[in-house]
Amino acid sequence: MGIVSDAAYAIVAVIVAFVAITLLLSIPIKILWRTLSIVSFLNLPATLLPIGYTESIGLSGILRSARQLTPMLRRMIPWLLIALTIISLLMYTRSSTPNVAVFSAIGLATLFTSIALASGAVRQGIDVVRLTVLPIAPIAIVQAVSTIVFRFSPTLEETYLRSAVASFLLGDDARLLYTTRPNNVTDPLKAGGILFVNGNRASMVMAVLALLYLSLWIRRRSFTLFVLFAVCIAGELTTSSKTALVLSISIPFVFLILPNAIRSGRRQGTAVAGVLALSATGVGLWLLYSKLPSFIAGTDEAAQSRSAIFAGWITYFREHPIAGLGFGGWAERWARDAASYGSSPRYPPHNFLLLEWANTGLVGCFTVIALMLALVWGYLKLVRRAETSRDARVLSLQLGAIVWIFLHGMYDNTSFYGTSNTLIIFAALIAQMLVLTDERTGRVASEGRYASGDLRSATPARLRGGRIER
């Protein structure tokens, strides 16, 4: 009877796989990408699959994007992602929680295949950033508005977090929030909306969406897009995240004026001076944040916890400078040592470079740094070479969203791509950069101008004298 049952399950599995692959190959790319965007943003707990829903769809997307691999692999970023995936897998044997190493590799592979899928969409003339953020707009509004409401009604927030709806959307993060898995939304001064139990993570996600909606508004001047930007910014600020407060002051300002400093046609010295001035502005604001007085609730406590974490990292780095601690190594060591640093044993590193070193060693950390630099440099070149000032501001604000993710992750518990909620957004931004610019040949894979929110074509065009010529 057992053999018959196993055979029946195997047959059903084959049929389901066949149907899924058939649907995947036949569904239009826009519908597939919208679905992936919504699934990623919701980030529902995976209860029916061995891996997350985003990973399941994203990895299977390679069936639709195999032809994009050849042009992708001419660029540095895909190879860095491949290297980081391999490094994660190699850390399996020396990790105290090897399953985390596997899931990390799966997440990186999902990012890679999603970039390939998005690249195919861009080459078809689709504005993939717009295609990513518009389908999730209704969810983003609910998320932002609920954050605002919860910030001023902690009782209502607690009622929600204890409800079956929260358990469905957040899984164990909600079910265990008031027992064994506490998080900062239980603080009456914090709020995370319907999708987060951590206000800092919520602020990062909403801020990234706000910048992308603003970039689309600059392109199309749509009242709806401006409302989306305003609502997301309001939601981000009401999380009471100190990181979000400072970045809200600096990032939009810096990246709105960045094109004026580096656009083609300006003297090289002027462009360099502009970039240095903007960088100094950003650094100055960040230093201001580090010195904020204690009238902002929780600033001193947050700074002390980060200082303790950094002191612990210095000790661990001296012990294992090259190999790191392996996946799970930080949690294991910090749980034992946190008391001696006057900190909580539950804290992760709150800096994704420190966490990357702990998980994958110095090689993995340097690989992430190289990926960050390559992505920022690629967008800076796009901004500089944009044909119109409007295009330059659009691309600059999208670069601002990327930089926000990076800077936020330097002081909070997020990855170099943000969170699972922003993985597909990050993939879309990378894909756009890879297709629009080819550093190897100096050619751009689209006309570079946007019409009615879409790329006009994916026909190659050459850059000459700072302008894009057909």
Q: What percent of the chain has pLDDT over 90?
A: 55
24 pLDDT more than 70: no
Cβ–Cβ under 8 Å, residues 395 and 382: yes
Give the rounded percent of residues in the chain with a pLDDT score beyond 70: 79
The values of phi and psi at residue 181, to 5°, are -130, 65
What is the pLDDT confidence band of residue 446, given thresholds at 50, 70 and 90?
very low
pLDDT (mean) for 224-237: 96
Residue 266's pLDDT is what? 57
Asked whether the predicted pLDDT for residue 322 surpasses 50, the reply is: yes
Report the mean per-residue pLDDT for the chain.
83
Q: Average pLDDT, stretch 301-320? A: 84
CB 400 within 8 A of CB 214: no
Report whether pLDDT(459) > 60: no
What DSSP assignment string belongs to 207-239? HHHHHHHHHHHHHH--HHHHHHHHHHHHHHHTT
Kindly report, residue by residue over 52-94, the tens digit of the pLDDT: 888 888 887 777 777 778 888 889 999 999 999 999 999 998 8
At 216 the pLDDT is 96
The token pair that represents 299 in the structure block:
């600033």
Average pLDDT rounded to a whole number, residues 333-343: 88
Q: What is the pLDDT of residues 247-258, one digit of tens each?
A: 888 888 889 888
pLDDT at 289: 54
- Does residue 277 have a pLDDT over 80? no
- Alpha helices (runs of H) in 221-343, residue ranges in sequence order: 223-237, 242-262, 268-290, 299-319, 329-337
Distance CA 358, CA 431 (A): 29
The pair of structure tokens assigned to 426 is 């990050």
**224 contacts: CB under 8 Å, gap ≥ 6:** none
Q: Is 392 exposed, middle or buried (0-12, 13-18, 19+ CB in 10 A)?
A: buried
Q: How far is CA 149 from the centre of its chain?
A: 25
Give per-residue pLDDT as tens, 389-439. Answer: 999 999 999 999 999 999 999 888 899 999 999 999 999 999 999 999 864
Map tokens 């001064």 to a residue. 189
Radius of gyration of the chain (CA): 22
Provide the pLDDT for residue 244.
83
Region 123-143 average pLDDT: 95
103: pLDDT confidence band, cut at 50, 70 and 90?
Answer: very high
Lowest mean pLDDT among 155-169, 269-283, 323-337, 358-372: 269-283
Q: What pLDDT was estimated at residue 245?
A: 82
